[in-house]
């Protein structure tokens, strides 16, 4: 049985930083988010240290900070930015 891709909910902070990035980088990040959402249950999630329930997705030098609810099949996209700035 094939599951449907996870619903993506974008935080205001995510959107404001995401739309400042170049179109190529936006497409790369969106592709990676879609890939994660299509395989949410089996995707290798990397938990952030000291941030309960938050995970990071690596896209080159950029990171996407997110949380997810497997039961509801939802991904909450919280932040996006360069690794030097986001993971602090």
List the one residue out of 78, 71, 70 whose CA is nearest residue 14: 78
pLDDT in tens, the chain (88 residues): 556 899 999 999 999 999 999 999 999 999 999 999 999 999 999 999 877 889 999 999 999 999 999 999 999 999 999 998 886 5
- C-alpha 34/C-alpha 5 separation (Å) is 8
The structure's pTM equals 0.91
The full set of domains in the chain, from first to last, is: 7-86 (3.30.2310.20)
Handedness of CA 42, 47, 51, 55 (dihedral sign): negative
């Amino acid at each position: 049985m094939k599951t449907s891709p996870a619903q993506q909910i974008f935080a205001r902070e995510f959107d404001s930083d995401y739309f400042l990035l170049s179109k190529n980088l936006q497409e790369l990040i969106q592709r990676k988010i879609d890939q994660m959402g299509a395989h949410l249950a089996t995707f290798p999630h990397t938990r952030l240290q000291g941030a309960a329930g938050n995970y990071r997705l690596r896209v080159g030098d950029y990171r996407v900070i997110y949380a997810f609810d497997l039961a509801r099949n939802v991904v909450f996209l919280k932040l996006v930015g360069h690794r030097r700035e986001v993971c602090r």
